[in-house]
Amino acid sequence: MHRLILRLALALSLASACTASQASPPAAAEGGSVIFIHPDGTGLAHWGLARVAHVGPDGALVWDRLPEIGIYRPHMRDSLAPSSHSGATVHAYGVKVPQDSFGMDGSEIPMSAGGERLSVMREAMRAGRAVGIVNSGHLAEPGTAVFLASSPKRTDYAGICAKLLVDRPNVILGGGEAFFLPKGAAGRHGPGLREDGRNLVDEARAAGYTVVFTREELVAVPDGTTHLLGLFASLNTYNDRDEERLRAAGLPLYAPGAPTVAEMERAALRILERNASGFLLVVEEEGSDNFSNCHNAAGLLEAMRRADEAIAAAEEFRARRPETLVIVAADSSASGPQLVAVPEKDGAIVAGKPLPTTLPNDPAPLDGVDGRNTVPFVAKPDRSGRTLPFAVTWASLEDAGDPVVIRAAGPNSALLRGTVDNTGIYRAIRATLFGSSPATAP
């Protein structure tokens, strides 16, 4: 009950701090660039865990330092909880859609809030802006792919990857090499899985793309490159299994040869910033969602660290190019993780001592640094130098429809202040690129 009261008080304080300025948002500033960072599945609890684990309870993540804050309403047309693909569709088109929608509204591409059957990224391309997508998962992941592709089936990974190349976006970086190669064809990371015989890597090179496969090759991309395709894993750049299965298989959380999402982002920005008309870059750390959904607390914390690094890269760029809007938002809270801690004198959660399966009279299982019945995590020091232990537990295996938090900085960031419908992400992006935005959510 005490934890519930604290969570409610925090939510209310966030809302009351934001709503005062919500009634009269400032006029839109146009002609800028946008970096939209989507740490998938990250609710307020994810960021609270990341803060305690990586900078301490009195510290501040880069996420904490972004000046604007909003409470995001995640519901879809037919569901109070979103899916990853419907949430991305709302971000890309600015309209509510059914929960099972991958860049679609029923059998059609959505009519966007801007009045055309175009995502905001494809509209930006048509207007001469540079565009790019970055994902730590495979490149058919909806958080980024929906901005360039529509599909009746979310699981048509090969078909979605083919559509990414159609309009020749400037930058496409992530995993999923298997969906770019014919079935059985040898790739740099594993065999291809495409059933149609197409070799999208060869097609990309013929279309003028530089293609890279490792961190070292990404760093060595020549100056003057205008179109870049990076394929850094056969599927995902992370291994999204629970701790026990990873330990049994001897697998790391992330592939050591793959660039981090921040490293991919910085490479993308070097290309996109050359366009004098501006750009739109969508960046997704997908591991935060996938590790949560398989109840891997160590993986979740590492994914959150990487997501905060991506925010740091965006803020470094914005310091040089202040016309850039930086948005950080998820669409759901994956699996509802919670920090669990009691005073060490109680003997249940003690640094260096394996955790019990559950606390007394509490059925929720506890995760430690390597899964169940392992030692607890230890927070970074607080302002008094104390380091305290904690465990992680979970509410479900699903993406929850809880309100999540938007953070933003730069031009038009005040449009994301207060209580914001999920369609507001589109409106802020479009306002910054084009200086116009629908006044209300459809």
The Cα 77–Cα 97 span in angstroms is 5
Residue 442 confidence (pLDDT) above 90? no
pLDDT digits (tens, 9 = 90+) for 415-428: 999 999 999 999 99
The Cα 316–Cα 65 span in angstroms is 13
Residue 16 confidence (pLDDT) above 80? no
> 56-65, 355-364, 365-374 — which is least confidently predicted?
355-364
| Percent of the chain whose predicted confidence (pLDDT) is above 70 | 91
Q: So what's the pLDDT on residue 30?
A: 55
Contact between 175 and 190 under an 8 Å Cβ cutoff? The reply is no
CATH says 34-337+395-434 is which class?
alpha beta
| Percent of the chain whose predicted confidence (pLDDT) is above 90 | 85
Geometric angle at alpha carbon 356, from 352 and 361, rounded to 5° = 140
The Cα 263–Cα 58 span in angstroms is 28
Contact between 13 and 259 under an 8 Å Cβ cutoff? The reply is no
pLDDT digits (tens, 9 = 90+) for 183-194: 999 999 999 999
**140's tokens:** 């058919």
Residue 27 confidence (pLDDT) above 60? no
DSSP 293-324: HTT-HHHHHHHHHHHHHHHHHHHHHHHH-TTE
- Compute the mean pLDDT over every residue in the chain, rounded to the nearest whole number: 92
pLDDT digits (tens, 9 = 90+) for 361-410: 889 999 999 999 999 999 999 999 999 999 999 998 777 777 899 999 99
pLDDT digits (tens, 9 = 90+) for 337-349: 999 999 988 889 9
> 13-17, 252-256, 264-268, 290-294 — which is least confidently predicted?
13-17
Residue 70 confidence (pLDDT) above 80? yes
Q: So what's the pLDDT on residue 361?
A: 86
Cα–Cα nearest to 229, from 215, 218, 216: 218
Q: So what's the pLDDT on residue 437?
A: 53
Residue 18 confidence (pLDDT) above 90? no
pLDDT digits (tens, 9 = 90+) for 126-179: 999 999 999 999 999 999 999 999 999 999 999 999 999 999 999 999 999 999
Residue 330 confidence (pLDDT) above 80? yes
Q: So what's the pLDDT on residue 436?
A: 65
Is this structure's pTM higher than 0.75?
yes
